[in-house]
Every structure is written in structure tokens, then in C-alpha cells.
Chain A
Amino acid sequence: MNFEAIKAIYIFEMTRTFRTLLQSLVSPVISTSLYFIVFGTAIGSRMEDISEVPYGAFIVPGLIMLTVLTQSISNAAFGIYFPKFIGTINEILSAPVSAFEIVIGYVGAAATKSMMIGIIIFITAHFFVEISVEHPVWMVVFLVLTCVSFSLFGFIIGIWAKNFEQLNLIPMLVITPLVFLGGSFYSISMLPEFWQKVSFFNPVVYLISGFRWSFFGSSDVAIEVSIMAILLFSSFCLYTIYQIFKFGYKIKQ
């Protein structure tokens, strides 16, 4: 195992994060604060409690997930797409590093950055609403698993993308709607029966539900199902990445 290479990729990527601190960390915090002001305080004060949880607190896990999912994808996608775009990928391809080590480096850095953002949003939420975490260990587990699995997905998008437009296509057209319709701002049980069934085809429902369970102890789907869903998604991403490197898809000629 080339640990030095993993470390080098990780440090290089994290340096980029800290170099663009405003864009990387401050911007998601500001946008999430705006959500808290609009949905949490302004609208939330006129909303009923959901499962005995005040609406302002109810949306906290969903908002963290919303940001963490989109940030994981865009960070990881950009991380691997940028070297491809400017040509520095050739240095990585000519280095004694395996596909696995490359993935750990890039996905590790992208997931770390998303986790940092998730934690900052969690802290920011305390300024707007009163919130407590019923299962802190599970909260961390869900956060880590979500950051890693969606960074893996972002890594795939970064390899697949031919241009910057494609790089933003999936996060914009697929992920954002899935997160909004996945129960970020409401409980699935609030929907008519038909739409509840449709929602269960949305994988993000399981993530948000599981994450919300770690906060409030109540969820739309069983916690075991949520964990299974996220592990399945991670396995799918890992397998796809394995195939990509095996056949050199869009990396090697």
C-alpha cells in the first residue's frame, strides 16, 4: 500500500479546500442559514410539530443532508475532473499508485470536506433552533457513510464528465430534486398514500430518514433498512469505480 501517495493526494486536495475557504465553507453555511431563517423561523413558526418535534428542529437533519449530499458529489467530481481537464491526471497514472489508493485519496478528501460542512451547519443550527441528538454515535455513522458513499458517486461523475456542464448535470438535475423530494423539509407520512409509495423508490428518503432517526428517535422507514440502503449504494459505487479502472474507461486510452 502506497500510504505516502494517499497522504499526498489527500493533503493536496485539502489544501485546495483551505485555499478556497470562502467558496468551500462559508458559502454553504450562508445558504443553510437562509433556509433556517425562511423555513425554520418564518414559515416554521406557523407549522405544526411533526412527530412531536418542532418544525424548525425537524428540518435540521434534512438540511444537513441536502448540503452534505450535493457537496460530497461536487467536491469529489471536481477533485478528479480537474486533473483530467488540465492534464495532470497523467502524473497520477504514471505514479506507482493503485486505483484503490487514488480513490481513497480523492474520496477521502471530498468526504472530509463534506463532513466539515455538515458539522458547521449542525453548529450553525444551534443559533436558530433548539436541538438535541438522541443517538450521537449513529448520527456520526450516518454522516460518515453518506459523505463517503456520495463522494464515491461524485468520483464516478467526475470520471464520466466530458465538460463542466456534464459535471453539474447530475447534481442539478438528479440529486437536488431527489433530496428535496426525499423528505428534507417534511415527513413522508405527510404525503398522500400514492406519493408515499413513489417516495420509497427515492434512495435519499432512506438516508434522511435514518439521519433524522439519530436526532429524534423517530423515522419514516426502519433504521435497519436505511443502513442497508446506504451500504448497497456504497457497494454499487465501489463496484462501478472498480470496473472503470479495470477497463480504463475515460482514463486510459
Chain B
Amino acid sequence: MNPIISIKNINKTFSTGEEAVKDFSLDIMKGEILALLGPNGAGKTTLISMICGIIEPSSGSVSVNGFDVVKDYKKTRSIIGLVPQELVLESFETAMNTIQFSRGLFGKKRDHEFIKKILTQLSLWDKRNTTIMELSGGMKRRVLIAKALSHEPSILFLDEPTAGVDVELRKDMWAIIKNLKKQGVTIILTTHYIEEAEEIADRVGIINKGELLVIEEKRNLLNKMGTKTLTIELNSKIKSIPNSLSSYNLQLASKGMSITYNYKKQEEKTGITSLLVDLKKAGITLKDLDTNQTSLEEIFVDIVRK
């Protein structure tokens, strides 16, 4: 399958000399939800801005649906919707006017029924004639999404869509994004909420200092990078790990009342069976067992630190 967005060796160096994006290459497939994770200043917004045409790349190329974003900008931009990170809206305009403006700007004729459908989906229909400055932060965020969707894009960029919004609205946003995916829209979202990527993304890319460190299917990433921890609760306290168990790299916890063992789930032999046998041989009796999967957050921190 041909990618809907193909980024090839793109670089961006600002006039200040700051290298925001370095030799970045990535293919994004049609209909997927890709989450780009990265700390503040990692280059996520710069990358999106280059694809959307707000910033010119210093070198490299980006094609959208087979068209170059610089040479054929009209063709590429007309199918892209962008929800910016900042709540940038004309305060004195009504929600309806600003959304109609966006639709027109992207070359589409006015379509009252379509706009009504979007506003209803986003619970904005009742607020259509309210001026932007009278809307709450969450409602403004919804207006930005409505603006991005107003021209029926097949690619949607969401730059930190749930930054600073409450839990309820965040869950609403996730439902909207999942629904858009069902309609065939390709979604690229940047976030530093790992929970968000874990909840809705198909693939996860991790960016730091302008470089793509990892790009993986979310499940593969969790499986490949994720370490599982087996916590063994003991019947009686032990002072130290017996020498016969040194090869397992066990750690003593809970003041000698439990042992933890780290293993890779995807490996053929996890070593759990032999550990349990050796524990029995060492005369240690077990009370309970528990396992924990490393979260995407821990993987992210681990990769970024490296």
C-alpha cells in the first residue's frame, strides 16, 4: 500500500541556527492513527508545520497523496485539516462565521447541512451564534476541530489536541478521533500524554531533539520494548537473595517480604518456570504472584533518556 504521506530526509534549521528537525523520514499509511510522542521542543509542531505549509523545510521533501507539498501545495493542502496547539481564533467572530470562513478558505462552497452535522457531532450547534470570546477553553478547542473538519479533509493533524482540557472532554475527543478513523480519515496527533497514544493510536513514533527515535505499531512497541515484572510475595522474610539464584538478577523488596524478577514477555524462554523451581530448591515458600507490564510512558522515558 502506498503511503498517504511520505516524508523524506527532511531538515529544518531556523535562522537562529537551531536545528528543529534533523534528517527525518517517515511514511504514514492511509486510515491509520499515528501518535507522535516527544517532550516539549522535540520538533513535533515544526514537523507538522512543514507538512501543512506553514514553515518551509530547509531540505528534504514531503509528499501528500503523491503530490509534493511545495510544488503542488494546492492539491496537498486541500485534503489536510490542522487543529493547532494554541487556541488561535478571532475573539469577536461567531463560531459559525469562523467555521464557514475555514470551509471557504479551503475552496469549498458553503454547505449548511454539512456544517450543521459537524457542529452537532462536536456539541457546538447550540453555540453557533456565540462569539468566540464567550466560549470556554474546551469549546474553543471544539471550534478549532470543527474548523479543521469543515472542508472534509482526508488527513487530520491534531497538535496536542487535549492539552489543558478536562478528562471528560479528553474522552469526548478520543471518541471523535475514533469515529473519524471509521470514516477513513488518516489522523496524526502529537501529544505528550502517553495515555492518549496508548488509548487511540495504531502506531507510535517517538521524537526527541528533531529526530525520530522509534516508529512502531503500538502493540509491537509495548511487546518489544516492554519489560514485565514478576513480583513474588514470600511467606516469610528473607535477609538476602541466596547465591544459587544470583543468575536471575532478583531484587529484594518490601523489607525482605517479596522478590521482583524482570523478564521480556516476547522472549521464548522467560525463565519463570526455572525460577520457581530454583526458589523451591532454595527453600523459599511463596505466598502470592503478581505481574506488571511496563507502560508506554516508561518506554518513552527510557528511549528519550538514551
Q: Are the C-beta atoms of A253 and B88 separated by less than 8 Å?
A: no
Tell which of A92, A94, A252 has the most Cβ of chain B within 10 Å: A94
Q: Is A248 an interface residue when CB atoms closer than 8 A count as contact?
A: yes
B1-34, CB < 8 A from A? 14-15
Q: Which residues of A contact B80 (CB under 8 A)?
A: 94
Residue in B closest to A87 when the chains form the complex, CB atoms: B88
Interface size class, chain A: 20 to 34
B40-91, CB < 8 A from A? 49, 52-56, 73-78, 80, 82, 84, 86, 88-91
Among A11-19, A121-129, A146-154, the stretch that binds chain B is A11-19
- Supposing A5-B106, A8-B104 touch, asked if A94 and B52 sit within 8 A by C-beta, the answer is yes
A73-88, CB < 8 A from B? 82, 86-88
CA distance A4 to B76 in the complex (A): 17
Residue in B closest to A9 when the chains form the complex, CB atoms: B105
Shortest beta-carbon distance, B60 to chain A, in Å? 16
Q: Is A192 an interface residue when CB atoms closer than 8 A count as contact?
A: no
Q: Which residues of B contact A87 (CB under 8 A)?
A: 84, 86, 88
Q: Is A91 an interface residue when CB atoms closer than 8 A count as contact?
A: yes
Q: Is A96 an interface residue when CB atoms closer than 8 A count as contact?
A: yes
Among B95-103, B251-259, B264-272, B289-297, the stretch that binds chain A is B95-103
Residue in B closest to A93 when the chains form the complex, CB atoms: B54
Residue interface mask A97-126, B partner, CB < 8 A = 1: 110000000000000000000000000000
Q: Is B305 an interface residue when CB atoms closer than 8 A count as contact?
A: no
Q: Which residues of A contact B54 (CB under 8 A)?
A: 90, 93-94, 252
Q: Are the C-beta atoms of B56 and A8 separated by less than 8 Å?
A: no
CA distance A93 to B53 in the complex (A): 6
Q: Are the C-beta atoms of B88 and A95 separated by less than 8 Å?
A: no
Q: Which residues of A contact B92 (CB under 8 A)?
A: 16, 19
Q: Is B147 an interface residue when CB atoms closer than 8 A count as contact?
A: yes
Q: Which residues of A contact B89 (CB under 8 A)?
A: 86, 88
Q: Which of A12, A19, A96, A252 contacts B107 (CB 8 A)?
A: A96
Interface of A is mostly: helix
Q: Is A2 an interface residue when CB atoms closer than 8 A count as contact?
A: yes
Q: Is B171 an interface residue when CB atoms closer than 8 A count as contact?
A: no
Shortest beta-carbon distance, A27 to chain B, in Å? 18
Q: Which of B74, B86, B90 contacts A96 (CB 8 A)?
A: B74
Q: Which residues of A contact B77 (CB under 8 A)?
A: 94-96
Shortest beta-carbon distance, A112 to chain B, in Å? 17
Q: Which residues of A contact B86 (CB under 8 A)?
A: 87
Q: Which residues of B contact A248 (CB under 8 A)?
A: 56
A2-50, CB < 8 A from B? 2, 4-5, 7-9, 11-12, 15-16, 19
Q: Is B239 an interface residue when CB atoms closer than 8 A count as contact?
A: no
- Supposing A88-B88, A94-B80, A95-B77 touch, asked if A11 and B104 sit within 8 A by C-beta, the answer is yes
Residue in A closest to B55 when the chains form the complex, CB atoms: A253
Q: Which of B15, B49, B74, B107 contacts A4 (CB 8 A)?
A: B107
CA distance A86 to B84 in the complex (A): 13
Shortest beta-carbon distance, B158 to chain A, in Å? 14
Shortest beta-carbon distance, B202 to chain A, in Å? 24
Given contacts A7-B104, A86-B91, A87-B84, 14 further A-B contacts (CB under 8 A): A12-B101, A15-B93, A86-B90, A87-B86, A87-B88, A90-B88, A91-B88, A91-B102, A93-B54, A95-B77, A96-B75, A98-B74, A252-B56, A253-B55
Listed by A's residue number, 18 A-B pairs whose Cβ atoms lie within 8 Å are: A2-B107, A5-B107, A8-B100, A8-B102, A8-B104, A9-B105, A12-B101, A82-B90, A86-B91, A90-B54, A91-B84, A91-B88, A93-B54, A94-B52, A96-B73, A96-B77, A96-B106, A253-B56
Residues in chain A within 8 A of chain B (CB atoms): 2, 4-5, 7-9, 11-12, 15-16, 19, 82, 86-88, 90-98, 248, 252-253
Residues in chain B within 8 A of chain A (CB atoms): 14-15, 49, 52-56, 73-78, 80, 82, 84, 86, 88-93, 97, 100-109, 147
